[in-house]
C-alpha cells in the first residue's frame, strides 16, 4: 500500500523500526544519545595532573574511572599540558662486581687506544631466552613532560630455555649460534674451535688478522680449557 500510494519502496524492517520507536519513545524521531561532554576546565586539569604526579604509571582508563571524565577529555588535557606516555626500557641486570670490571676495562682501554681499535674487537655474549614471562611494554606508561627514561632491571639470563651466542665486529654480525644445552666450558670451547671459524667466513681477512676477542667473565669463558685455546689462538688479544 505504501508503494502504491507514494511510489517509494520500503522493506518491512523499516516499518517495524518505526512502530518500535513510536511505542518506546512516543514519537518517530530518533532519540538523541547522551554523549559524555568534554569537561576541560582549570579544576579538572589540576585534578588530572595531581593524579599522574602521585602515580605517573596510572592508565587513562583508571583516570577516567576515578575522575568521572571521558578518556577523550583526559587525552586532551594531557596533550594540552604536553604530557607524553613514555614506554618502559628493559636493561640488563648488573651485579656489584660488574661495576669494578667495567672500570678496569676502561683503564686498560686507555692504554691501548687506537683510532680504529674498536673496529678490531669481536664483541660477543650469550643470552638466554624463554617463551613466557615477558613484559608487555605497550601497557606500561610513565606520564611526564620530559622523558624520565624509565627503566626496569630484568634478569634476562636466568631460568630461560634457549641459549644463544652472537657477536659483532665492525659492521658484521657474527652468528647467531644456538646451544642445545646449558652453556658449559665444553660446549663453549666447542663453539670457539669448531663453529666460530665458519661464522667468521664473511668477515674480510684483514679484519680477522687483527681481531681482538671480547667475552665477559662467565664461568665457561674463564675455564682452563677455554683460556688455553684463546691464548693459543689470539695470544694477548
Q: Output phi, psi for 20, to 5 deg.
A: -65, -40
pLDDT, mean over the chain: 82
pLDDT at 95: 84
Angle at 164 between CA 161 and CA 167, to 5 degrees: 160
Give the pLDDT of residue 165: 95
Q: Is 171 exposed, middle or buried (0-12, 13-18, 19+ CB in 10 A)?
A: exposed
Q: What is the predicted pLDDT for the residue at 139?
A: 52
Cα 151 to Cα 60, 89, 154, 199, distances in angstroms: 21, 5, 9, 34
pLDDT tens track for 153-163: 765 555 556 88
Residue 114, pLDDT score: 75
Q: Which residue has the cell 644463544?
A: 164
Q: Which residue stretches of the chain have pLDDT < 50?
A: 133, 135-136
Q: What is the pLDDT of residue 177?
A: 96
CB 120 within 8 A of CB 212: yes
Amino acid at each position: 500500500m505504501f508503494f502504491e500510494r507514494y511510489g517509494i519502496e520500503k522493506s518491512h524492517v523499516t516499518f517495524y523500526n518505526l512502530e518500535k520507536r513510536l511505542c518506546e519513545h512516543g514519537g518517530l524521531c530518533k532519540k538523541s544519545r547522551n554523549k559524555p561532554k568534554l569537561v576541560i576546565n582549570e579544576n579538572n586539569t589540576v585534578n588530572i595532573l595531581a593524579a599522574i604526579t602521585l602515580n605517573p604509571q596510572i592508565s587513562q582508563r583508571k583516570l577516567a574511572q576515578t575522575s568521572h571524565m571521558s578518556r577523550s577529555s583526559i587525552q586532551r588535557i594531557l596533550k594540552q599540558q604536553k604530557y607524553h606516555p613514555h614506554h618502559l626500557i628493559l636493561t640488563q641486570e648488573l651485579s656489584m662486581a660488574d661495576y669494578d670490571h667495567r672500570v678496569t676495562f676502561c683503564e686498560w682501554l686507555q692504554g691501548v687506544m687506537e683510532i680504529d681499535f674498536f673496529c678490531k674487537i669481536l664483541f660477543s655474549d650469550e643470552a638466554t631466552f624463554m617463551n613466557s614471562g615477558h613484559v608487555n611494554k605497550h601497557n606500561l606508561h610513565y606520564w611526564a613532560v620530559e622523558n624520565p627514561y624509565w627503566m626496569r632491571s630484568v634478569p634476562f639470563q636466568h631460568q630461560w630455555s634457549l641459549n644463544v651466542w652472537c657477536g659483532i665486529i665492525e659492521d658484521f654480525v657474527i652468528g647467531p649460534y644456538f646451544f642445545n644445552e646449558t652453556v658449559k666450558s665444553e660446549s663453549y670451547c666447542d663453539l670457539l674451535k669448531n663453529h666460530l671459524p665458519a661464522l667468521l667466513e664473511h668477515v674480510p681477512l684483514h679484519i680477522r688478522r687483527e681481531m681482538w676477542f671480547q667475552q665477559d667473565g662467565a664461568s665457561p669463558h674463564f675455564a682452563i680449557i677455554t683460556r688455553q685455546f684463546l691464548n693459543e689462538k689470539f695470544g694477548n688479544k
